[in-house]
Structure 1
Amino acid sequence: MSSPLPPSPAPAPHRERPGRRRILAGGAAVAAGLLVQPALSACGASGGAADAHLRVGAAAPAGGITFDPRMPSPGAGALILAHLYDPLVRLRGGSYEMRLASAAEPNADATVWTVTLRTGATFHDGRPVRAADAAYSLRLLYDPKSSALAGGLAAYVDTAGIRALDARTLRIPLTRARGDFVGAFLGALSTVFPEGTTDFAARPTGSGPFRWTASASQAVRLTANADYWDGPVRLAGLEISRLTDPAARVNAVVAGQLDYAVGISAAAARAHAHTAGVTIHRGGAATSNALLLAMNASVPPFDRPEVRQAVRLAADRTQLVRNVLLGQGQVGNDLVGLGLPGYADGLPQRAHDPDQARSLLTRAGVTGVTLQVAELVPGLAESAQVFVQQARQCGLDVRLRTVSADTYFADPAALRRTAFQTFYVINRPAAVHIALMDAKNAPFNFTGAPASFYTALDAALATVDDARRAQRFQEIQQDFHDHGGDLVWGFAEQTDASRSGLAGVAWSQGTPLFHRVTV
């Protein structure tokens, strides 16, 4: 897996800017993983895509990129999985798309779900995608001993009871009713791989629009799946490279070393808005990241509601969006799901009130806290610096402890014990986010909650009637807004950069999808 990549298919002529053969600002990381040959892309050469190989740069942890859908690495890892594999259901914007599934229906009390698979889908090795493959995949994905993603979802799925009724019909029994099963489960975690797969590293096999071709320590090459069930793939291939520094990614595009940079800063987007040969792509509110400060309500001093309230009042969200996102985002109101179905948009916007914040902190006897910071996405480190100044005006000394983004997720248990940290989450519909991220055993539940919250959440999740369930989630959001530990200060659109002439990028939960791209 660490050998140099073999030569790629011969590209059509590729025009690079003279004198720009080196990636700027730390771009040597790309060269470490890429080929030792000329540019891979044929972008701009023919106006079609049959011969076009797109070079993409994205962040990834220091430990490298995994092909295991049970333990995905963020950034480049998620991007690769999205193109190698298909899920049963996928969230696109505010709605759910049936992918390998063609239908999903509950029984009367939503304790058993029956999923019907579409016809015509095949794995990269030519085998048909069967209900038995989906059953095997879900048993592994929802087993907390096997999957890093199972979290609080695992308690609801009777994994031993998942079985194929025939080649296209899948039966999924639950331990408790979940009226939101399609969105909260299948829309979040339903990647399908061949039955019996145990080694995902040797030759990862999915049914997605691209096949695995080769890997090096810092890059992975994928080739178009000519037999893709969802129509022809418009690129000949992808090469995805690990490049952690967002400035290096955008500079690599400007220099002609990459064709597409995933995740660039607001400053870079502004700086290159009129750069010749560069296009800035915005995914819109539905593909934004919610940027936040997470206060752990189970750890002092944030176990005191007045301290959490004071910190929220200390934050000037408008200034944060203006300074950190350069106005290229939306102000948050301590809830996730802005612009998506089910969001509690009737709640009053949290005000910036430094005087009340100072009063609450004085009564609580709290004068200082430590904020753990990692630049997991562009803007988090700068937001911490801005908040330090805002908190100082309220009599609160915020000390920063900076840690590496490369190793941030190495010990999730330690993160769940951290009192105060910067974080981001993909903007999902509110009910899906709460069920996925704030359940009691969710791997990234960094804010804790009292037992009463989990009781209310369980009641909402078990509600079969859609309207009543929606109302209960409105009440949960009200409680979050009043008493929770998330200070959601803003929403940053997924902002990427590419060389000009590229069109057709789509996004799913912040991950760009390239199989419909034309160049």
Structure 2
Amino acid sequence: MSGNDPAQRGMPRRRFMKLGIYVVGAGGIAAACGDDAAAPAPTTTAAPSGTAAPTTTAAAATTTAAPATTAAPTTTAAAGPPIGGVLRLGTTGAGPRETVDPHAGGGSNANVARKFNLHARLQEIRADMAVENTLAEIIEPNADGSAYTIRLIDGAEFHHGKSIEAEDVMFSIQRMAEGGIMRDVLELADVANIRIVDRLTIELPMLTPAFVYSKSWGELASGIAPIDYDPETNPAGSGPFKLVDWVPGEETILGRHENYFGDPGSGGPYLDEVRLISFSDDLSRTNALLSGQIDAMDSVPIGQIPVVEGTDGLAVLEAEAGRVMFFYMRNDRPPFDDVRVRQAIRLIADRSQMVNQALSGRGAVANDLFSPFDPCYASEIPQRTQDIAEARRLLEAAGQSGLTIDLNVSPVIAGVVEAAQVLAQQATEAGVTINVVNLDPGDYYASWPDGWEFGFEFFANLQYPVIAPIVNGPGAFFNMPAWEDQEWLDLLLKARTEPDDEARCNIFKEMQALEHERGGYLIWGRANITDGYSTAYDGFVSHRLGRSFGQYDMRPVHQV
């Protein structure tokens, strides 16, 4: 494996503590909760079954969550929330494939939470989906789109005290282009010939004129790292929290970055520490919240929302229809190398039933397309609905009548396993047998990047110009169906080089029409984000983008 592989980046606790780069925060290292490290064996079912409730929830609806054991706030910012305290946040982990690297792939909620808290970005996607400059003061193309000027704000610092300057942005962009998500976004940028204009300014040349990079710098793998960054020897970041300690698949301890954007205590971060505790399943994570072992958790299982809401001292934060839920079908492997089989599976799905049963109605149906909040979303494409007769006809024409196939899933987020079970039941009407294989998250992601013939994933509601090359480009990091369509690729290049916004938007809609007709995704719904937390804390934010706690934004969170 290369150094860009997510499993290769980042450093386990033993080596990190030997280096002694940071001072361990108050409270030391918390032990892993209970038996969470024990991964359940894969199970196979052909039809839906009831989802087991957490063992402690029967009484939880009428009981009180155990009190937090974290330290009380120590100081108060002028006319602002108190500063201090420790938050224990339970997330879905990915075992040894977890990483602290800002430019490696996603892979789990734990990785996402680390990336957004350890590393600031040139831009930030706000709750209303507007893109605003943060570390960047200016990002703009020249008149012909042959180069972009990126100028930084002055006064921002990395965790180890170095000023954030042009050389660091150049280093980070070049590193982004080596692999991971941003590699596909930056394929038109001539990253090898970035020019430093002055201490705070770079010029990013294009390989061909392009007009899509003015608002492309707020995503997951676009964090800014120092020029001397190394995931093992110098994992310094630029975000609101710094890395204190971590054990992949178990726990990460983050400490407050006092000089975050040169203005400590103003707008956060307020907490002394955030402890990210990795869990392998919904059951253990939910029980930990109900019993007070953690103070917050991402993705409360749909069936447990009333239990959490009915427990004194706990609450649920819900963001409307933010997370794109889908199954993918590998186009380079039978039976999905035949577009008729892919079309049939999409026609088998009763999306309304999937949303109602798997998400308890907490979401909205989707139409096999990404980016529903993008201004260039192709809303004029008719909503695909269930058509069993046509699905049977397509399967017969493809020689796949009576198809039997495994659908590999994992309880990474609420509704995934349940949706697979509902789809399996619907498929029987078309004579198709879908065996739902429920895997531990670590086992599921161990297949990355090759993936499964038939698997699941979920995505944030990213801008279409950002997500399109990531999920559909040949060899792209998240092209899980391995879909290749030359007509689509020609349109992508045409759109990226089109200077007129309206004309570019129309091209994007043409691309979406091809995805809808030929693609390898069954995008069945948009799920509300439902996160649980202790009311001993305040400041949690929701976000339509589709990630928990407003992209795991711990800056405004504080103890009450």
Q: Do these two structures clear the TM 0.5 threshold for a shared fold by scoring above it?
A: yes
The answer to whether structure 1 residue 292 and structure 2 residue 326 are counterparts is yes
What's the CA shift for 1:472? 0.6
Alignment of 1:380-419 (within 5 A): 380-415=416-451, 418-419=452-453
Could you tell me the TM-score, scaled by structure 1's length? 0.87
How much has 1:451 moved relative to structure 2?
1.7
CA gap 1:457/1:49 in 2 versus in 1, 3 angstroms: same
Map of 2:198 onto structure 1: 166
Deviations, residues 270-312 of structure 1 (Å, cap 9, x unaligned) = 3322221111012333xx2211121233333323333222211
Distance 2:310 2:153 in 1: 44
1:351 maps to which of 362, 385, 410: 385
Please tell me the residue identity of whatever aligns with 1:443. F
The answer to whether structure 1 residue 89 and structure 2 residue 119 are counterparts is no
C-alpha deviations, 1:458-504, integer Å up to 9, x for none?
21122121111111111111222222221111111222110114322
Answer yes or no: is the 8 Å Cα contact 2:373–2:461 preserved in 1. Answer: no
State the secondary structure of the residue aligned to 2:260. coil
Q: Is the 8 A contact 1:297 1:303 kept in 2?
A: yes
Secondary structure in structure 2 of the residue aligned to 1:192: coil
Which residue of 467, 477, 494 corresponds with 1:459?
494
Number of residue pairs aligned between Structure 1 and Structure 2: 494
Instruction: State how 1:196-207 maps to structure 2 within 5 Å.
Output: 196-197=228-229, 199-207=230-238
- Quick one: structure 1 residues 214 and 277, their matched pair in 2 at CA, closer, same or farther if it must change by over 3 Å? same
Report what 1:2 is aligned to: 13
- Indicate which of 173, 177, 195 corresponds to 1:138: 173
- Shift in alpha-carbon separation, 1:185–1:44, aligned structure 2, 3 A: closer
Is residue 2:413 matched to residue 1:377?
Answer: yes
3-state SS of paired residue (1:137):
helix
**What does 1:115-514 correspond to in 2, within 5 Å?**
115-143=150-178, 147-184=179-216, 187=219, 189-197=221-229, 199-216=230-247, 218-229=250-261, 232=265, 233-285=269-321, 288-366=322-400, 367-375=402-410, 376-415=412-451, 418-447=452-481, 448-506=483-541, 507=543, 510=547, 511-514=551-554
CA distance in 1 between partners of 2:281 and 2:440 (Å)? 12
Name the CA shift for 1:395/1:411 in 2 (closer, same or farther; >3 Å): closer
Residue from 69, 76, 83 that aligns with 1:39: 69
The alignment partner of 2:289 has SS state of helix
Q: Quick one: structure 1 residues 396 and 161, their matched pair in 2 at CA, closer, same or farther if it must change by over 3 Å?
A: same
CA contact (8 A) 2:228 2:234 kept: no
- Deviation for aligned residue 1:338: 2.1
Q: Is it true that 1:62 corresponds to 2:62 in the alignment?
A: no
Q: Distance in 1 between matches of 2:208 and 2:180?
A: 22
Range with bigger deviation, 244-253 or 318-327: 244-253
Are 2:142 and 1:107 aligned? yes
- Contact kept in structure 1, 2:328 and 2:456, CA below 8 Å: yes
Identity percentage over the alignment?
A: 27
Q: Is the 8 A contact 1:151 1:441 kept in 2?
A: no
For 1:382 and 1:241, the matched residues in 2 are separated by: 25
1:18 corresponds to which residue?
A: none
TM norm structure 2: 0.81
Tell me if structure 1 keeps the 8 A contact 2:88–2:275: yes
1:74 positional shift = 2.5
Q: Structure 2 counterpart of 1:70, which letter? A: H
The one-letter amino acid paired with 1:372 is: L
Instruction: Give the distance between the partners of 2:115 and 2:281, measured in 1 at CA.
Output: 21
Q: Would you say the 8 A contact 2:32–2:251 is kept in 1?
A: no
AA in 2 matched with 1:40: T
Q: Give the match for residue 114 of structure 2.
A: 80
DSSP-derived class of the 2:232 partner: coil
CA 1:173–1:183: 2 relative to 1, 3 Å: same
Q: How far, CA to CA, are the matches of 2:404 and 2:214 in structure 1?
A: 41
Q: Compared with structure 1, are the counterparts of its residues 387 and 496 closer, same or farther at alpha carbon in structure 2 (3 Å cutoff)?
A: same
Any conservation in 2 of the 1:87–1:189 contact (CA below 8 Å)? no
1:2 and 1:324 mapped to 2: Cα distance?
Answer: 38
1:149 offset after TM fit, Å? 3.0
Task: Determine if contact 1:412/1:443 at 8 Å carries over to the other structure.
Answer: no
2:59 corresponds in structure 1 to none
Is the contact between residue 343 and residue 429 of structure 1 (CA under 8 Å) also seen in structure 2?
no
Contact map agreement 2:75 2:83 (CA 8 A) in 1: no
Q: Which residue type is aligned with residue 2 of structure 1? A: R
Counterpart residue number, 2:8: none
**Alpha-carbon offset, residue 185 of structure 1:** 5.2
Q: Distance in 1 between matches of 2:138 and 2:520?
A: 37
Kept in 1, the 8 Å contact 2:180–2:221? The answer is no
Contact 2:82 2:558 in 1 (8 A): yes
Query: Counterpart amino acid of 2:91?
Result: A
Q: Match of 2:93, as an amino acid?
A: A
CA contact (8 A) 2:323 2:458 kept: yes
Aligned-pair CA distance for 1:122: 0.9
1:300-326 superposed Cα distances (whole Å, 9 cap, x missing partner): 332333322221111010111111111
Contact 1:368 1:399 in 2 (8 A): no
Q: Which runs of 5+ in 1 are unaligned?
A: 12-20, 30-37
Instruction: State the distance in 2 between where 1:43 and 1:395 align.
Output: 60
Could you tell me which runs of 5 or more consecutive residues in structure 2 were left unpaired when the two chains were aligned. Answer: 1-11, 18-22, 40-67
Report the Cα distance in structure 1 between the residues aligned to 2:464 and 2:189, rounded to whole angstroms.
21
CA-based RMSD of the aligned residues comes to: 2.8
Mapped partners of 1:235, 1:456: distance in 2: 47
Q: CA deviation at 1:187?
A: 4.1
Change in CA separation of 1:259 and 1:28 when aligned onto 2, cut-off 3 Å: farther
Is the Cα–Cα contact under 8 Å of residues 247 and 268 in structure 1 kept in the other structure? no
